Amino acid sequence: MLLTSIDFVIVGGGTAGLVLASRLSEDPTQHVLVLEAGADLSEDMRVKVPGLFSSLMKTEADWGFQSQPQRHLKGRQINLHQGKALGGSSSINAHVFVPPTWNLLDTWDSVLGNQGWNRSSLQEYYAKAYTFPSVDRSLETALGVDGWTSSTPSSASNNGPIQLSLGGTAGHPIREAWAETFRTKGMHMGSNPLCSTSDDAAMIGSFSCLSSIHPKTKERSYAASAYLNPIKDRQNLVVLTSATVERVLFEGADVKRATGVQYKHDGKTHIVSSTKEVIIAAGALQSPKILELSGIGAREVLEKHGIELIKDLPVGENLQDHLVSGTSFEAVDHLETLDDLIRQEPAAVEKAMEEYMTSQTGPLTSIGIRTYAYLPVVSEPGRTIIEKAFLENPPPVGDRRDEVRARAHYEIAKKTLLNPKEPSAAYLSILWQFIFPVDPTSDSPTEPIPGKFLTLGFLLAQPLSCGSVHIGSSDPSSAPVIDPNYLSNPIDAEIMAQHALYLEDIASSPPLSNLLKQPLRRRDPASDITSVEEAKRYVETSSISMFHYAGTCAMLPEEKGGVVDHELKVYGVEGLRVVDSSAVPLISTANLQSTVYAFAERAADLIKQEYGLK
Ligand SMILES: Cc1cc2nc3c(=O)[nH]c(=O)nc-3n(C[C@H](O)[C@H](O)[C@H](O)COP(=O)(O)OP(=O)(O)OC[C@H]3O[C@@H](n4cnc5c(N)ncnc54)[C@H](O)[C@@H]3O)c2cc1C
């Protein structure tokens, strides 16, 4: 190791960890060490080429966890992926780059009590993370981004590390058809949702989504390529891969101070000290594990595993995630889809590889997700059902910290989910057949089938169901025990059922309906649902994780079940912060990466201010 004295040890060189590494090492007087359990895969084609993203699942680049059997999902165990490489989950994610609804961000401060964490303080950090692509005016309509020009940032403020693009060819009809379909329904976003600054910016409706894919190279733009690679020669920054942190080390009698970490590298145990701070950034499924192994966690969890308690905090509780379900509809024959690649047809794969390698064109330049819509429950009977569900399922009373936190979540959910101007689901289109799990006794195929498909999916934007992740053993090499407790709150099940039923309405509405064979033909007969009860059963069988875990070391006041305060400092000890999706107190409306980048950018500024760094 080249550094003699280390100011900051960052545990986890993932999405948030590399933002911190890059920003904190901007001050040449500061010495920063990153310890990352995974390898540097930045030259690996599976990481670089957008269309190869699914080939990374269950490989060495993926921690490949599984949930506990989920009671409300028919006892299924759900695959829970997390990136294990420099760049963490940003190195294996699906590139979708979408914003939260800005009103929801305000509740972090106003309802949850995180002073200074709101739309006005965070919006600049979202923008700081990315560069928005320039769009040829003549293509705006075809790309579904007409009307965005006025809200798109000027070049002066548009130079963040993550390079965004509108992935895929402009000539594909999906973006324009999607925009027109929702415009006809009065639900199209007229301005760019990522950059909207207007107070009354409607966050309901359809939009073309951006991807973290470099517009020129057509390669994944992620924490390692965008934040680390340009600065990795800095003398004051060391990034050690294949280094797995086991615990944080403390000194002191009354108040303990984090002084370094113990980690495994090359089969040996090492210790490294930090003069300023240890910052945990191991992601929402693993930051709790490191804290618990270090003596910070719920008393009963630590006692069970014989770990000496340093501070009793609800580490690992409050696990939030997005469930996704949907339906694959048969597309018209002339629609360009990625189904032949999904079926791994040799000729199609060969042609796509050649196009990509020779001219950075073709189907591998995107993963076929180009459109989104943030929507409330639209139907009138549906809205009444949701209101009734809220009345029948009130939040817990009582002063326990989990009860106080649940009440705060409920207050936010009630305000947003019953408001027709706030979304309860994020819809997306996928240009291939998506193989959702099916009941084994049904006729639905479990392998890719011939034909072309357009999948309409939706994710539950603001789940009330919360789960947990804890150590199952004091052995650092054991996987955490993860129980997301999906759909344990009946309100979530009602909302998902309503959105599942609305898919047919979208698929039948022109001009989108012109891209689908009519009458509609579904890939999975089981997804042909007409009643709320059928929809609930389908959701229980088909839903899977979107891998947007958050909240397990939540930034919240201690009496609300917080693990870190509004400066991300772990309560009750010194010299220790958590900066990653685990500290995000409330899952964002849709995909999480933009929020993790913004969160880490703001955290870096807070740390720099505290120590007077450049
Ligand atoms: C398959 C997949 C698809 C996704 N698709 C999208 C998408 O399209 N759009 C979107 O917005 N979001 C998406 N997400 C979510 C998004 O990528 C994550 O929310 C975000 O990247 C999490 O960032 P993080 O910094 O909290 O954790 P991570 O990026 O996971 O970083 C944590 C890092 O810590 C390392 N680590 C863990 N334990 C240790 C240890 N003991 N010692 C050392 N290192 C350790 C890990 O290897 C990892 O590199 C997806 C996620 C996955 C997994």
For the segment 264-322, what is each residue's pLDDT rounded down to a tens digit?
Answer: 999 999 999 999 999 999 999 999 999 999 999 999 999 999 999 999 999 999 999 99
C-alpha distances (whole Å) from 593 to each of 87, 212, 403, 541 are 12, 10, 28, 27
Question: Does the pLDDT at position 196 exceed 90?
Answer: no
pLDDT the model gives residue 191: 85
Dist. CA 243 → ligand 1 center (Å): 16
Ligand 1 atom with least separation from CA of 246: 41
Residue nearest (by alpha carbon) to ligand 1 atom 23:
15
Ligand 1 atom with least separation from CA of 63: 47
* Alpha helical stretches, state H, 296-428: 299-304, 339-342, 346-359, 380-392, 401-417
* Alpha helical stretches, state H, 360-428: 380-392, 401-417
Among 46, 81, 93, name the best residue to mutate to test ligand 1's pocket (greatest count of ligand atoms within 8 A of Cβ): 93
| Pocket around ligand 1 at a 6 A CB cut-off | 11-17, 35-38, 81-84, 88-90, 92-96, 244-245, 281-284, 286, 290, 547-548, 580-581, 591-594, 596
Whether the CB-CB separation of 599 and 579 falls below 8 Å is answered with yes
What one-letter code names the amino acid at 325? S
Dist. CA 170 → ligand 1 center (Å): 30
Dist. CA 588 → ligand 1 center (Å): 15
Question: How deeply is 612 buried, as exposed, middle or buried, from its count of CB atoms within 10 A (0-12, 13-18, 19+)?
Answer: exposed
Dist. CA 375 → ligand 1 center (Å): 26
Dist. CA 283 → ligand 1 center (Å): 6
Q: How far apart are CA 614 and CA 606, in angstroms?
A: 12
pLDDT the model gives residue 148: 81
Whether the CB-CB separation of 459 and 425 falls below 8 Å is answered with yes
Among 369, 593, 599, 601, name the best residue to mutate to test ligand 1's pocket (greatest count of ligand atoms within 8 A of Cβ): 593
C-alpha distances (whole Å) from 516 to each of 366, 373, 434, 590 are 21, 19, 15, 26
Question: Does the pLDDT at position 255 exceed 90?
Answer: yes
Q: Which of the 8 DSSP states describes residue 152?
A: S
The percent of residues above 70 in pLDDT, for the chain, comes to: 97
For residue 295, the surrounding DSSP H or E stretch is: none
Question: Does the pLDDT at position 549 exceed 70?
Answer: yes
β-sheet bridge partners, residue 428: 372, 457
The single residue listed with the structure tokens 């923008």 is 127
Whether the CB-CB separation of 278 and 575 falls below 8 Å is answered with yes
Label residue 137 by pLDDT band (50, 70, 90).
confident
Full 3-state SS string of 198-209: CCCCCCCEEEEC
- Convert the pLDDT of each residue in 77-121 to its tens digit: 999 999 999 999 999 999 999 999 989 999 999 999 999 999 999
Q: Which has the closest alpha carbon to 207: 462, 426, 468? A: 426
Q: Which of the 8 DSSP states describes residue 223?
A: I
* Alpha helical stretches, state H, 219-298: 287-293
Among 33, 65, 79, 89, name the best residue to mutate to test ligand 1's pocket (greatest count of ligand atoms within 8 A of Cβ): 89
Q: Give the other-Cβ count within 10 Å of 269's Cβ.
A: 10
Dist. CA 14 → ligand 1 center (Å): 6
